[in-house]
Amino acid sequence: MGQSPSTLAQVSARAGCSAATVSRVLNNSGTVSPAVRQNVLKAVKESGYKPRRTQRTVRDLVSATHPRTKTTESRFEVILHRHSPMEQISTNDGTMHLGPSSEVTGRDLISQTYSLASDFYMQILNGVMDELAFASNRAMVQASVDLMDPQIIKSVNRSEISGVILIGEYSPSLPDFLEQCHKPVVLVDIIHTGRADVVTTDNLAGIELAMDHLLELGHQKIGYVGAPRNRSFQERWATWQWKMASAGLAVNSQWVYHGPESIHDTVEDVKKILAGEPQRPTAMVCATDCGAMGVVRAAEQCGISIPDQLSVVGFDDTSASALVTPPLTTVHVPLREMGQRAVRQLLVNVSYESNLSGSIIRMSPELVVRQSTARCPS
């Protein structure tokens, strides 16, 4: 009997990275370090994995579901939005370098200077652009710090634009933007109740994965890092509390950090949490990889060993999570796939000539276990 062909999951396990990272290497897209790229290519060669690509385009799939589907090429507007300050973060040889937080410009959103934040957005954007090209459609990409910029509103309502994909950060002006945008809109990783469709990750399942992992390792003193400042983080915070209660564990408010999400601020406050020996947590669940990196740095400054004395779980699986020391155990969010799914949903909406759906599509996360978690110290 012949050997079964290797799967993407088997290749990622052999390479010691997530399936999304393998996909980025095979598609030559996104930010991947030379060392990780070399490991992936070696794993692909050794396993005999052969990537497959579907023969049906998105247009074919949409046409099969509705007889009135338009078959002419469409043009779409893709907006990458963030209005709050970003931290200058970069990694080099496994060392994280941190710069000051500052106000952002559109150019900053795709700058390597802000590698942690921009990498998150660029993975989604890569998925969007690949899927649009695969479906033979074109897109205009704009980076914006103000959704109500008159030029943005004018641009999305041009007659040749069929629909809009909005990526990035939730904005208080989002309801006004949706009111003034007269085209179908799909929001990516921005949870909002309204006429726009939303493609996001399953935040509840992600925190469940993180908590189940720590509970299986015997941890009971578990803290949390991440302010519930938007719907996604509210869902993660609520799920963490529910999992603590389900496990019969009390929430210690002294082990919870709800301050600014910058690494610098996280470090300063988490150091106070970790200084409470012996009454300190043995594990921390973080709403983002950024928060997890803040915990790692705080532990280092407190002389606390990770994972021997403190286990840390992040959320997102940005490229930097595998490059820091120790590499982060984290919840992998399928960012590229979210971008692709957003395009498919938008094409369906355009085909039905509808912009009043308001559905929420949740993509399944995965737990990537690396070296920042271990059994609870006795």
Across residues 133-157, what is the average pLDDT? 88
Instruction: Say if CB 120 and CB 110 are below 8 A apart.
Output: no
Q: What is the pTM of this model?
A: 0.76
> Residue 95 belongs to what H/E stretch?
strand 95-102
**Residue 346 covered by a domain:** yes
Distance in Å from the first CA to the final CA of the chain: 48
Q: Which of 93, 99, 129 lies closest to 111, judged by CA?
A: 99
Higher pLDDT, 244 or 15: 244
Say yes or no: 147 and 251 in one domain: no
Say yes or no: 289 and 352 in one domain: no
| Start-end of H helices in the chain | 8-15, 19-26, 34-47, 58-65, 115-134, 150-156, 174-180, 203-216, 231-246, 263-274, 289-302, 335-351
Q: What is the span of the domain harbouring residue 26? A: 8-47
Residue 280 per-residue DSSP state: S
Cα 96 from chain centroid? Answer: 19
Say yes or no: 151 and 37 in one domain: no
Say yes or no: 65 and 27 in one domain: no
61-65, 80-84, 190-194, 281-285: least confident range: 61-65
**Residue 54 covered by a domain:** no
Higher pLDDT, 195 or 27: 195
Say yes or no: 17 and 104 in one domain: no
**Residue 12 covered by a domain:** yes
Q: Which of 198, 109, 183, 127 lies closest to 153, judged by CA?
A: 183
Tell me the residue type at 359: S
Say yes or no: 211 and 328 in one domain: yes
Say yes or no: 314 and 215 in one domain: yes
Instruction: Say if CB 116 and CB 163 are below 8 A apart.
Output: no
Parallel, antiparallel, or unpaired: how do β-strands 256-257 and 283-286 relate? unpaired
Say yes or no: 260 and 290 in one domain: yes
Q: How many Cα atoms are found within 13 Å in the side-chain-facing hemisphere of 245? A: 6
Q: Dihedral of CA 321/237/122/344: which sign?
A: positive
Tell me the residue type at 83: H
Say yes or no: 231 and 323 in one domain: yes
pLDDT digit string (tens) for 69-92?
444 567 899 999 887 666 666 655
Residue 263, pLDDT score = 87
pLDDT digit string (tens) for 118-129?
778 888 988 998
**Residue 23 covered by a domain:** yes
Say yes or no: 197 and 207 in one domain: no
Say yes or no: 84 and 135 in one domain: yes
**Residue 182 covered by a domain:** yes
**Residue 180 covered by a domain:** yes
Say yes or no: 187 and 229 in one domain: no
**Residue 368 covered by a domain:** no
CATH of the domain at 236: 3.40.50.2300
**Average pLDDT of the chain?**
82
Residue 293, pLDDT score = 92
Instruction: Say if CB 222 and CB 283 are below 8 A apart.
Output: yes
Other Cβ atoms closer than 10 A to 176: 13
**Residue 282 covered by a domain:** yes
pLDDT digit string (tens) for 228-277?
999 999 999 999 999 999 999 999 999 999 998 888 899 999 999 998 76
Count of structural domains, the chain: 3
DSSP string, 148-199: T-HHHHHHHT-TTEEEEEEEE---TTHHHHHHH--S-EEEES----SSSEEE
Instruction: Say if CB 332 and CB 368 are below 8 A apart.
Output: yes
